[in-house]
Structure 1
Amino acid sequence: MSSLDIVEAERLEASNLFYREPALYDSVQADSDSATVCQALIDQHFPAARTLLDFGCGTGRDLELLAQRFDCAGVDLQPRLAHYARRTHPELDIRVGDMRTVRLGHTADVLTCLGNSLAYVHGNQDVRATFETFAAHAHRDTLLVLCSPVAPIESPSPQQARVETRLGTATVTIAYEWDLRTQINTMRRHWVFDSGEEACDTIRRRILGPRELELYAIHAGFDVVAIIDESGGGGLIGPGAYTVARYQG
């Protein structure tokens, strides 16, 4: 990784509790069905696929399930997450890299970018560079599956929830802000664990609407074949969605 990539990784780690505590990340996301929905979309659009690259693989939670069927490799910007993934899933091929610039030197039948990873790429040029990375790892008919927010979450007042985690039970207070000019949805969380420990973090996600996603994909050589709700059931309600595209070169 370049010095700029390292600075960006450290900035994100400082702002996000999940990046500092990967076990907490895994615990809170334990009921995620992202990998299941992703596999169903691959079965529908490219059932013969055999190889897969996951950009923004995090703790390897989704990659572990996908690796039961595909020859997989994963890339993540956060060294702490990558190291945790290697330790908890030693059978997985996990690399540290920035999906705006990384080049692995080979292509795959399927490219995935799940868990809102694309939303952490904020600038227009950086989004375009990320799609160029997807294209650099694609051959003709490679399937791209993205999971990302397509509409902001807005709440007039903070929300509160009790969360069971591997670090203990916590009360989490969440507040949202929406900046239309930058299309950044900011989530501020205040964690109070029953042990008395407290933590705060701030998550900033770029919202790309469906037509924006389609435009970035087309410029990179992909044809969008579906954009569906994050439930995987079809339609598009928001705020999250799966985008499925096929590389045409």
Structure 2
Amino acid sequence: MSSLDIAEAERLEASNLFYRDPALYDSVQADSDSASVCRELIDRHCPAARTLLDFGCGTGRDLELLAQRFDCIGIDLQPGLVDYARRTRPGLDCRVGDMRTVRLGHTADVLVCLGNSLAYVHDNADVQSTFQTFAAHAHSNTLLVLCSPVAPIESPSPQQAGVETRLGSATVAISYEWDLRTQINTMRRHWVFDSGEEYHDSIRRRVLGPRELELYALSAGFNVLEIVNEAGALPVSGPGAYTVARYQG
């Protein structure tokens, strides 16, 4: 990894409790249906798929379920998450890499980018580079499935919710700030655990509307087949959508 990649990985880790404690992330997200929704979309549009690349695989939680059917490789920018995935899910092939620049030298039948990973790519040029990475790993008819926020959440006054975690019960106060010019939605979380421990998060996500996503996909050679709403579950994630596209070259 370059020094810039390392700095970016460290910044992301510092901004989000889940990245500093991957096991906590897994416990809170244990009932996520991202992998099952992804499989349904693949069955609908590319039922013969056998190989899959996951960009932004994180802890490998979704990848583990997808690997029950597909020959998978996962890529993530953050070494701590990849290390956790390797230790807790040793059967997975997880690698450190930046989805803006990584090149594996081969293609796959399906490319996925879940968990709002694309939303952490903020600059237009970097979004274009990410879609070029998708194209570099696509062959004719490769399916791309990505999940990302398509509309902002605005809630300047904190809202509280109770969460059960491996560390015990916690109360999370969450507020959102929307910057229309930059299209950055900032989520701030204040965690208070029954143990008395407290943590603060400040997570910045770029919101790309459906038409923007379609234009980025088209510019990289992908034809969008559908964009499907996702019902988010606060406080872990906000509402987003699954974009499904096929590579035409």
Question: Per the shorter chain, which TM-score range?
Answer: over 0.9
Structure 2, gaps ≥5 residues long:
233-237
Q: Name the amino acid aligned to 1:4.
A: L
| Structure 1 moving runs of 4+ over 2 Å | none
Q: Name the amino acid aligned to 2:39.
A: Q
What SS does the aligned partner of 2:152 have? coil
Shift of 1:231: 4.6
Partner of 2:60: 60
Partner of 2:178: 178
What SS does the aligned partner of 2:154 have? coil
Relative to the length of structure 2, the TM-score reads 0.96
Distance 1:142 1:222 in 2: 9
Residue pair 2:156, 2:177 contacting (<8 A) in 1 also:
no
Q: Name the amino acid aligned to 1:104.
A: L
**Identity, % of aligned pairs?**
84
Partner of 1:130: 130
Bigger mean CA deviation after superposition, 158-167 or 177-186: 158-167
Partner of 1:212: 212
Distance 2:43 2:130 in 1: 25
Partner of 2:159: 159
Distance 1:239 1:61 in 2: 20
Distance 2:231 2:194 in 1: 32
Partner of 2:169: 169
Show the 5 A alignment for 1:89-104.
89-104=89-104
Q: Structure 1 residue 47 and structure 2 residue 47: aligned? A: yes
Q: Structure 1 residue 148 and structure 2 residue 148: aligned? A: yes
Partner of 1:78: 78
Partner of 2:24: 24
Distance 2:181 2:135 in 1: 28
Distance 1:172 1:30 in 2: 18
Shift of 1:191: 0.5
Which deviations, in whole Å up to 9, do the C-alpha atoms of 1:153-207 show, x marking residues without a partner? 1124211011110112111100100000000000000011100111101110000
Residue-pair matches, total: 244
Distance 1:65 1:202 in 2: 29
Partner of 2:33: 33
Q: Structure 1 residue 202 and structure 2 residue 202: aligned? A: yes
Q: Name the amino acid aligned to 2:72.
A: C
Distance 2:140 2:104 in 1: 17
Q: Name the amino acid aligned to 1:153.
A: I
What SS does the aligned partner of 1:157 have? strand
Shift of 1:129: 0.3
What SS does the aligned partner of 2:155 have? coil
RMSD: 1.1
Partner of 2:139: 139
Show the 5 A alignment for 1:215-226.
215-226=215-226
What SS does the aligned partner of 1:241 have? strand
Distance 2:105 2:2 in 1: 18
Distance 1:159 1:229 in 2: 23
What SS does the aligned partner of 1:176 have? strand
Shift of 1:239: 3.2
Distance 1:102 1:177 in 2: 32
Distance 2:38 2:95 in 1: 21
Structure 1, gaps ≥5 residues long:
233-237
